Amino acid sequence: MPNVVVVGTQWGDEGKGKIVDLLTERAQLVVRYQGGNNAGHTLVVGGEKFIFHLIPSGILHPGTVCLIGNGVVLDPEVFLMEVDRLRNRGIKVGPENLRISERTQVIMPYHRRIDVAREEKKGAGKIGTTGRGIGPCYEDKVARRGIRVADLVDPEILQAKLADVLPEKNFYLEKFLHGKPFELEEILTSYLEMGARLKPLMTNVSVLLQQAVKSGKNILFEGAQGTHLDIDHGTYPFVTSSNPVAGGACTGTGVGPGELHHILGIVKAYTTRVGGGPFPTECLDKIGDHLVECGVEFGSTTGRRRRCGWLDAVVLKDAARLNGLTGLAITKLDVLTTLDPVKICVGYDDGGVRRDTMPGTIKELERCRPVFEELPGWSEDLRGVRRYEDLPANTRQYLKRVEELVGVPIQLVSVGPDREETIVVRNPFE
Ligand code: IMP
């Protein structure tokens, strides 16, 4: 009966995939509500490695229904490739366990080309996007000229929409970005073909969710990226183009706020960021190298080395407020083992003025220097620990301080990449 939203509290890559996989055992439905194939995570199940960008990993759990909400931007090529890969490995994928909202926006080939060409043109000032066409697709959604999943099964509508939008895209691509233009017929044919394959999966996700709520099912809402990459609340303009915050689960799927019962914030025990933008606790020294190496901090979508630094409680407190967090899941705690002392940023020093919340502009955030609190480290291997009380005293002291600073209880602690390497203090579905 309870519904749970899983959100990233930092700049993405908090390890949501593992926690979602774990919680899926208690959920009958898993719903993705925003973002696209800029996200990605790898799961190892029974020794087999699976990489997901769009389809919720819940697809690996027999009996779980996976939904893609209207807030997502869907690249049909990538989506269908993911479906084929799963089927080739013997995973059943069909309308009984995978549905897409007919209102979901479609990433078109011109979105991808514009995304890449624009970043190249920007040079030093670039956002560092994943180049998957995410931003340009959301731009068209808001400009009311987007192509939605339902349009892919209506040749007349798709033809008319392309005829309307393509001349403008080609003009921009050729004249401003010095890129190659597109042929309408080519896009039309291939997108109608993909539309035919998507047709059996199309549905009204909002209605499906309402039925699930009425029949007392557990729903897991899965956010991609993280709170500080949110288009409204993140470090704008170094953000993604959607709303990863918990509120996005409502607009991105069609459920009312009253149906979101628990909001679980995923907190990596340190901080990482990919792409450009300010990052107050970034460590450009051997601590940063330790975090990259021990945490294997390379992007799962682009392979880029992630920027790493100490945990930032200002970032987390903002996330607690912006999402209404009811619980925390701490991930990758084992990566801090052997570091001594361990540091937590408890506030910012902005030219002698103390700040406890994220400033509204990049200019101010760039000025801020982290104020650190130091705690004693630990050298014990955490990966075999399964009960909170069995954690070393210094590790518990670190976790207690995080709880105090953020003001939200810790419900899960991950001490290694495997599903079993987790301490469950309280399952939010209970
Ligand atoms: P976009 O979402 O591809 O437009 O990229 C915008 C910004 O969000 C860039 O800094 C990306 O590196 C970042 N970003 C997008 N998706 C992810 C993610 O899943 N994890 C971490 N950063 C991401």
**Beta-strand pair 353-355/342-350:** antiparallel
DSSP string, 64-100: -EEEE-TTBEE-HHHHHHHHHHHHHTT---STTTEEE
Marked catalytic residue, from 41, 61, 111, 233: 41
Give the mutation target among 240, 243, 273, 331 for probing the ligand 1 site: most ligand atoms within 8 A of CB: 240
Among residues 201, 213, 202, which one has the least CA distance to residue 255? 213
What is the distance in A from the centroid of ligand 1 to the CA of 305? 13
Q: What is the pLDDT of residues 182-215, one digit of tens each?
A: 999 999 999 999 999 999 999 999 999 999 999 9
Whether 44 shows a pLDDT value over 80: the answer reads: no
The finding on whether 266 has its CB within 6 A of some atom of ligand 1 is no
pLDDT of residue 298: 93
Whether 142 shows a pLDDT value over 90: the answer reads: yes
The finding on whether 37 has its CB within 6 A of some atom of ligand 1 is no
Enter the tokens of residue 391: 């954690």
Q: Is there a catalytic annotation at residue 13?
A: yes
More confident residue, 282 or 299: 282
The finding on whether 114 has its CB within 6 A of some atom of ligand 1 is no
DSSP state, 306? P
pLDDT of residue 419: 87
Cβ contact 412:430 at 8 Å:
no
Q: What is the pLDDT of residues 341-385, one digit of tens each?
A: 999 999 999 999 999 999 999 999 999 999 999 999 999 999 999
Q: Is there a catalytic annotation at residue 41?
A: yes
User: What does pTM read for this prediction?
Assistant: 0.96
Amino acid identity of 371?
V
Please state whether the peptide bond connecting residue 237 to the residue before it is cis, i.e. omega within 30 degrees of 0.
yes
Helices 109-122 & 134-142 angle (0-180, nearest 10) = 110
Highest mean pLDDT among 43-57, 61-75, 118-132, 291-305: 61-75
Whether 52 shows a pLDDT value over 80: the answer reads: yes
In angstroms, the CA 315 to CA 416 distance is 24
Give the mutation target among 229, 235, 297 for probing the ligand 1 site: most ligand atoms within 8 A of CB: 229
Enter the tokens of residue 317: 């407190």
Average pLDDT over all residues of the chain: 96
The finding on whether 235 has its CB within 6 A of some atom of ligand 1 is no
Enter the tokens of residue 310: 């100490």
In angstroms, the CA 406 to CA 387 distance is 22
pLDDT of residue 1: 75
Q: Give 119's contacts (C-beta < 8 A, 6+ positions apart).
A: 126, 127, 128, 129, 131
